[in-house]
Amino acid sequence: MKYFFLSLCLSVCVYSAKAQQWRNDAEAKIEKHRKASLKIQAENIPSSGDYSIQIRQKKQAFRWGSTANIKQIQKLTAQGAALGADHPYYHHLLNFNSITVENTGKWIAWNKPARRETYRELRQWLRNNQVDNRGHGTIWESTKYNAVPKTLLQMTDTADIRRQIYAHIDNQLEALADDVYELDLVNEPVHEDKIVKDILKVENFAQERANWYNYAKAKAPNLPLVINEFHLIQNGNDFHLEFGKYLQEFLAAKGTVDVIGMQGHFYGPMPDAQEIQRRIDEVSLHGIPMHVTEFDMADSSYTAMERVLYLCFAEPLMTGFTLWGAWDGNQWRDSGAIYKANWDLKESGKAYYDLVHGQWRTDLTYVPAGTADSFSVFKGDYDIIVTHQGKSKIYPVKQLLDDTELRVDFADVHLKSPTINFTSDFPDYRAPHTPLQVVAKGKSQDPIKTIQLLVNGYPVARRQFEKANSKQQVEFTWAGCITGENRLQLEITTEQGLVQRSAIKTIMGYAEHRTAHQSGPINP
């Protein structure tokens, strides 16, 4: 019997070691591939008083995305909650740095003017909130999902059919080429082949699609084009071999592809780390950047989400991770990874926020000692905030992707500081989604460029003035479901780059574990 227990103990220890090893390996790759060195040399360091330097990440380089649904926005608008209104649906979109519109980029929906106009308005609103737009589904050869226009199905002249295809590509690129950072030009080319097989009746499917991609690349040379397919990460079958064969035929036909889109619709329990890693490795062998483009999950446990996020973020060829709907209230199979239909946070959502908005962001404050200080920071956009005696100067750093050196000067923190009167109406925060009314009055000897509300140091509402104002009263309305103690602060930036922050107001959040919903910018 004692040998049985000894064997059992050894088995448990080996299993625990394996379970820990994949995480250790992932963390090592994240440290190597997702971070860079920031070296800061501070000059004219004060000899007395309170002074510090804050390294605050504004935006992550890795694309952490979700989707927006145009029909949902139109429905909310009809109910009186227009785009950007104080509503959880709009707030939750701003928890991501990339948004994909689910269906309006697809051919039939694209031809509907009202939906296309709402899509245009959404892209503008997202840009105003520093959220990137991702394009999806220019051509999807699926009749099962009614994705091919009836006019195309009825055509027989192949020259006319191709003219229609290229005209559609032209039309979409004219609207999107400068507005999206990448585009799924053809969706599911291995699984869906109605146009190439039954309408054009070509033998070499890859050659025909390669012509489409090359045409689009000639029209929009700076726009990365994606081949988007499923069964590459969510299933452990041999589809990667069929996809690899198609990809080689596509490349042999001189087709141009910049990214492989790996849909991630998990219908059952999340596989273990070794299996997920195997599936990622099978696609990474092609040496082409990858993006998990359509992730949802039946297993909404904390550990399941944690596992897949770690392994995807650790893969150096991976450029983004997009949820195919974060909220069950508007998700194609009620498998949103973050929120239940009542906006309660799922366990998988907690894992997402703990990692993406916590562990994998850089926000630190230190006191310089006189020599250059070096830090390992996550890649992205930063504000380096130099503060002395309550006055601050911001040094913006855009696209910190490689090791960077920066000089900051405490002498730049000059004496013409703005003044802020921070008054608020703090309601009963024991109830979820209770709006917080914040009124800020800013006055400065220097013209004011921006004013924003910070919650725990993170900007959630912002107003920017096209023409700098010497006096301004701005009203913020912010709806939040937050947990624990939270620090609210207002920040004004002058035209000269001087930053002044108000005193901190502390409030207690809703008792349950929730995340903050963020409002968009308030237009002048």
> What are 124-144's pLDDT values in tens digits?
999 988 999 999 999 999 999
Higher pLDDT, residue 427 or 94: 94
Higher pLDDT, residue 440 or 159: 159
Q: What is the dihedral of CA 144, 146, 151, 153, to 10 degrees?
A: -10
The whole-number average pLDDT for the span 351-360 is 97
pLDDT at 501 over 60: yes
pLDDT value at residue 6: 53
146-163 burial, b for 16+ CB within 10 Å, e for fewer? ebbeeebeebeeeeebbe
Mapping DSSP to helix (H, G, I), strand (E, B) and coil, where does residue 30 land?
helix
pLDDT value at residue 446: 63
pLDDT at 430 over 60: no
pLDDT at 147 over 70: yes
pLDDT digits (tens, 9 = 90+) for 294-316: 999 999 999 999 999 999 999 99
Report which of 247, 304, 308 is spatially closest to residue 280, judged by C-alpha positions. 308
What is the band of 509 on the pLDDT scale with cuts at 50, 70, 90? low
60-81 burial, b for 16+ CB within 10 Å, e for fewer? bbbbbbbbbbbebbbebeeeeb
What is the band of 369 on the pLDDT scale with cuts at 50, 70, 90? confident
Percent pLDDT > 90 in the chain is 69
pLDDT value at residue 450: 79
pTM: 0.83
Q: Minimum mean pLDDT among 83-87, 103-107, 202-206, 465-469: which range?
A: 465-469
pLDDT value at residue 77: 96
Q: Please give the Cα distance from 266 to 263 (Å, whole number).
A: 9
Q: Minimum mean pLDDT among 146-155, 245-254, 429-438: which range?
A: 429-438
pLDDT value at residue 475: 54
Higher pLDDT, residue 490 or 411: 411
pLDDT value at residue 246: 98
pLDDT at 100 over 70: yes
Mapping DSSP to helix (H, G, I), strand (E, B) and coil, where does residue 483 land?
coil
Place of tokens 């200080």: 373
pLDDT value at residue 515: 34
Percent pLDDT > 70 in the chain is 80
Mapping DSSP to helix (H, G, I), strand (E, B) and coil, where does residue 126 land?
helix
pLDDT value at residue 522: 28
pLDDT value at residue 474: 52
pLDDT at 512 over 80: no
pLDDT at 380 over 90: yes
